[in-house]
Amino acid sequence: MAFQTSVAAQQSPGIEGGFYGANPHFTLTNPDEGMWVAGSAGVTIGQFAWANTASGQVTSAHPGVTTVRYGFVHRDQPAVIAGLLVGSSNTVVGGQGIDLLEDGPVWGRFAGGASIGQKVYAAYADGALSAAATASASTVTRSVTTTNTSTAISYTGGAIYAGQPVSGTGIPAGAYIVSVNAGAGTAVLSAAATASATVTGTFTTNFETAWTVRSTAGAGELAKLSVRG
């Protein structure tokens, strides 16, 4: 175990993924009655994760399939601290059984801060939390080159991620990103484009969950969240 290297000036009100009250919590049930299993990259505690109902695997990043449900990764479950002299970890390692919450009184960290009553969003990239007052999720634009009747696209202007809904001229309504080859700047759409052109694609970066913020937090701080009040 590693030595302690810092001391906080004030005690934290909670810890990421921990429960803040005694209200009931509800776990996401695997339809095959088996246990959900963390994917090879592991799953981050205190954030949302995506459960593939076809494979039973859970990932922090959206897998880019429709056979998927989401849940919150709480910390009150078995975990392994891997690595020499590693004193702590916020990751459920790959291959380990994992529970996800559909609802519960939990703490989560919001990089951009949060206010009571705001909607909670999960990033398609990694399940990280964000909050907004309206139903409008964040979007980014990228230059996208489409090919008529093909699901293959190329893009520039920044990263995109599997699962992200995308819209633009020649891109079918309801299309989303199935997979990304980030190094090559190419990706696969869920439906074939209807035109061959370079267009501006609008990508939704965050998924709107059913959860709501229950306490106020500054940027990078912890806030309470739940589905039921």
Q: What is the mean pLDDT of residues 166-183?
A: 95
> Which candidate, 206, 102, 193, 209, places its Cα nearest to that of 155?
193
> Which candidate, 180, 189, 142, 146, places its Cα nearest to that of 161?
180
* 55 vs 30: CA distance, rounded Å: 10
pLDDT at 101 over 90: yes
* 13 vs 174: CA distance, rounded Å: 41
- What is this structure's pTM? 0.91
Mean pLDDT (the chain) is 91
* 41 Ramachandran zone, left/alpha/beta (phi>0; psi -120 to 50): alpha
Share of the chain above pLDDT 70, in %: 93
pLDDT at 80 over 80: no
Asked if 58 and 27 touch (Cβ cutoff 8 Å), the reply is: no
Instruction: Say which amino acid occupies 155.
Output: Y
Asked if 91 and 45 touch (Cβ cutoff 8 Å), the reply is: yes
* 208 vs 38: CA distance, rounded Å: 22
Q: What is the mean pLDDT of residues 107-121?
A: 96
pLDDT in tens, 13-29: 889 999 999 899 999 98
- Count of other CB atoms within 10 angstroms of residue 137: 18
Structure tokens at 71: 């849940």
Band (pLDDT 50/70/90 cuts) for residue 79 is: low
Ranges 74-88, 129-143, 172-186: which has the least confidence: 74-88
Band (pLDDT 50/70/90 cuts) for residue 35 is: confident
Handedness of CA 107, 113, 114, 115 (dihedral sign): positive
Query: Which H or E element spans position 89?
Result: none
Q: What is the mean pLDDT of residues 208-223?
A: 96
